[in-house]
Chain A
């Protein structure tokens, strides 16, 4: 049996390969002649076949074996990429995913029979091989020497039959490895010479001379003596150890007259580099066999799997460090006051500030360790859009940008759902069917953009379509019809806030206004989910031009910027995302409307609520009050506190299982002096105040 760790490595690799297949299949579907995509899929399937066989997942290896067969037929031009082929491969991929899910979740394995049968009989034979597949075959026969880079005006050497360079023998490999340590890389350089060349030996000499200046030639085919005597056919091949970039070498070669083509490929593939290390490792853990000599070099990042709890513990430890640092700072101040600029005090000061810096860096890096690229979530959407578009008979160009943007894993988990909702909405209701788009003078295929980017300490995710858009007038009308607003209030509402109406619970337009049909359904849920993690969501729309949703999220849930205030003897934190502004309020400015305290700000009535009253704690009283204005749109409330302390980054901690959720509180944080401050759940409080107002109005 395999250990859990080995299975985990296998599953990691499997997930990665499934992702690759999924991604590349979509590419292949769009661009059916894309050989690179085909190659990637083939390699991924091949890897899974090998590793699943070793791990003993028989169905998985049988399935990938059949996939590989089908892909091989495609690669050899026996079969053409058709919709059926793609669908069949997708079906196989889905089955593979189900099999993978069974590994962790258990349960009955699906019947792979039907999909195996489909894979076998799939597709119609392609054109006769001699017509269509000739260039194809050359590529296969010569995987390490892709079509040579032809220079401007240079003749394509595609007509030549070129054998692949032979694999290096052990002696050569050891030479290459040793040179590698000194920063050299080994390349096979294939040079094509104009067949009409008159002075073949001189050309060859020139080339050897030029290459010799960039590094060391350790081998050539045919042997050097033959080449220098002009005894070669289409050209020759040289094994070079160099520090130059392949591009530079290509340029160098193409600058020589009568050279018609050149290709530079690494002589040793990354797999081969790692080979010795692999042999020592547990053979089951990394069973990737060498599949093809691939010219492309991938950057392999080294990773270790870590339990998130360990990171949390580290974070807590850093939190303690921060507190002690603050204490040390205070001590330094006291010492400074007592002993003046004593040398020891200065040293202590230095240590203290250095410690502070290190603590800060440590905190930042641990935070980063918790981050994952949004690709984890984004990657599932292309497939979803494809399937949905197929079903609805729509054509959609789905663009995904900024996949590498990183986000705290907790945030990532929360955004998947709302994003899916928005994307589905855009495909379903935003983007028009192709015929309608053509009629409107738009391109046949709708454009859907999913983009992530950084903006200060936030991440912004945009979902944008170029579909129907929404008409603010219609939204206004609909809100009145549904009794969410009276006609007068609706008319008064500024346009920006009209768009906000679609986020109201129950704002549904299903079956009423065709342009809005279904849009808005569940948008309140989307907003809720996003606000729960201190994010915001906004909509922009233009009739006929499309709709854009902009989601702004904190990079992490663990640390937020907050406004610190005091009430009585305690400190409270207001998450900054909820704070509109702060203001000074003199008790004499406070008016009463019915039972509510209000203050007039810039001609507008702002309802006030005393935090001391909400929390039933004593306040400091006095002539100086401060209001923290929170809420959005029409619903603004000033929450009265004793004093404002300023903004600060705080680490959010939960109140713990024992206390559970306490209404109005979002958690706690530890202050620099070690005391605990409570974090106010502003949204919860505003909701509470809302019901209070209603109660007053009713009474």
Chain B
């Protein structure tokens, strides 16, 4: 067995969303902020919650729950916006709570099952069992970009339907 691979670790930001525990690679995380007033953007794709002002920058915020076609989460005091940067684009993701930053050996990541808690495997990087907790690792690239084009096209179709 390759020792180096065995010892390699992955740092995860672990958060809660609709009673499940998820993790994303810390390298993608820019910062984590409290909920703030989000400006609703009409005609944007459904899962876009709106835009916020992050120190002078306009950042879109998505609702991960809606993104996975699960129900929208409830906003509580524990709700946070995780600002991630993926593929040169900065996006905020609303989560129910941020739990911890975790170091896990890369070897402990297992391939995802075809579907888990209603989320397709394509959106997942894998799963980790850690201290008897199941952490679902998200594939942000897929989540943020794969359906973006389709969703926008759909929105445009809806708009066209509404105006003709």
Answer whether A and B are interacting partners: yes
Which A residues have a C-beta under 8 Å from some C-beta of B?
316-317, 319-320, 323, 570, 614-617, 653-660, 662-665, 668, 670, 674-678, 688, 691-692, 695
A617 touches B164 (CB 8 A): no
A248 to chain B, nearest CB (A): 54
For A317, what are the chain B residues with a Cβ–Cβ distance below 8 Å? 56
Please give me the residue from chain A that is nearest to B91 by CB atom. Answer: A658
Determine if B135 is an interface residue (Cβ-Cβ < 8 Å).
no
For A323, what are the chain B residues with a Cβ–Cβ distance below 8 Å? 53, 56
21 residue pairs A–B, Cβ–Cβ below 8 Å: A319-B56, A653-B57, A656-B51, A656-B59, A656-B89, A657-B88, A657-B89, A658-B89, A658-B144, A659-B44, A662-B43, A664-B43, A668-B39, A674-B53, A675-B37, A676-B39, A676-B52, A677-B39, A678-B42, A688-B163, A692-B163
Determine if B115 is an interface residue (Cβ-Cβ < 8 Å).
no
Q: Mark B59-85, 1 if CB is under 8 A from A, else 0.
A: 110000000000000000000000000
Complexed CA–CA distance, A653 and B60 (Å): 13
Determine if B152 is an interface residue (Cβ-Cβ < 8 Å).
yes
Residues 149 to 164 of chain B near chain A (Cβ within 8 Å)? 152, 156, 159, 162-164
For B43, what are the chain A residues with a Cβ–Cβ distance below 8 Å? 615-616, 662-665
Among B37, B42, B51, B58, point to the contact of A664 (Cβ < 8 A). B42
* Given known A-B contacts A663-B43, A663-B159, A316 and B56 have beta carbons under 8 A apart: yes
* Given known A-B contacts A616-B42, A674-B53, A653 and B58 have beta carbons under 8 A apart: yes
In this complex, how many residues of chain B approach chain A with their Cβ under 8 Å: the count is: 29
Please give me the residue from chain A that is nearest to B144 by CB atom. Answer: A658
* Given known A-B contacts A316-B57, A676-B51, A658 and B148 have beta carbons under 8 A apart: yes
Please give me the residue from chain B that is nearest to A662 by CB atom. Answer: B43
Among A319, A655, A677, A691, point to the contact of B60 (Cβ < 8 A). A655
Complexed CA–CA distance, A664 and B44 (Å): 11
Complexed CA–CA distance, A677 and B37 (Å): 11
* Given known A-B contacts A668-B39, A676-B39, A655 and B57 have beta carbons under 8 A apart: no
Where chain A touches its partner, the secondary structure class is mixed
Most buried by B among A657, A658, A676, A695: A658
Complexed CA–CA distance, A658 and B159 (Å): 19
* Given known A-B contacts A653-B58, A658-B89, A617 and B41 have beta carbons under 8 A apart: no
A680 to chain B, nearest CB (A): 10
A668 touches B58 (CB 8 A): yes
Complexed CA–CA distance, A674 and B51 (Å): 12
Please give me the 6 A-B residue pairs with the lowest Cβ-Cβ distance, nearest first.
Answer: A615-B42, A676-B39, A320-B56, A316-B56, A319-B56, A658-B89
For A654, what are the chain B residues with a Cβ–Cβ distance below 8 Å? 58
B69 to chain A, nearest CB (A): 19
Please give me the residue from chain B that is nearest to A321 by CB atom. Answer: B56
* Given known A-B contacts A570-B39, A659-B48, A695 and B163 have beta carbons under 8 A apart: yes
Determine if B40 is an interface residue (Cβ-Cβ < 8 Å).
yes
Determine if B3 is an interface residue (Cβ-Cβ < 8 Å).
no
A660 touches B41 (CB 8 A): no
Q: Mark B90-106, 1 if CB is under 8 A from A, else 0.
A: 11000000000000000
B55 to chain A, nearest CB (A): 5
Complexed CA–CA distance, A659 and B41 (Å): 10
A664 to chain B, nearest CB (A): 6
For A663, what are the chain B residues with a Cβ–Cβ distance below 8 Å? 43, 156, 159
Complexed CA–CA distance, A316 and B57 (Å): 7
B39 touches A660 (CB 8 A): no
For A678, what are the chain B residues with a Cβ–Cβ distance below 8 Å? 39, 41-42
B40 touches A670 (CB 8 A): no
B58 touches A656 (CB 8 A): yes
Complexed CA–CA distance, A659 and B59 (Å): 9
A85 to chain B, nearest CB (A): 54
Complexed CA–CA distance, A323 and B36 (Å): 15
Among B42, B57, B58, B163, point to the contact of A617 (Cβ < 8 A). B42
Assuming A662-B41, A663-B43, what are 5 further A-B pairs, CB within 8 angstroms? A317-B56, A615-B42, A657-B89, A664-B43, A678-B41
A690 to chain B, nearest CB (A): 10
Among B41, B44, B163, point to the contact of A691 (Cβ < 8 A). B163
B36 to chain A, nearest CB (A): 8
Please give me the residue from chain A that is nearest to B89 by CB atom. Answer: A658
B42 touches A665 (CB 8 A): yes
For A570, what are the chain B residues with a Cβ–Cβ distance below 8 Å? 39-40
A174 to chain B, nearest CB (A): 53
For A319, what are the chain B residues with a Cβ–Cβ distance below 8 Å? 56
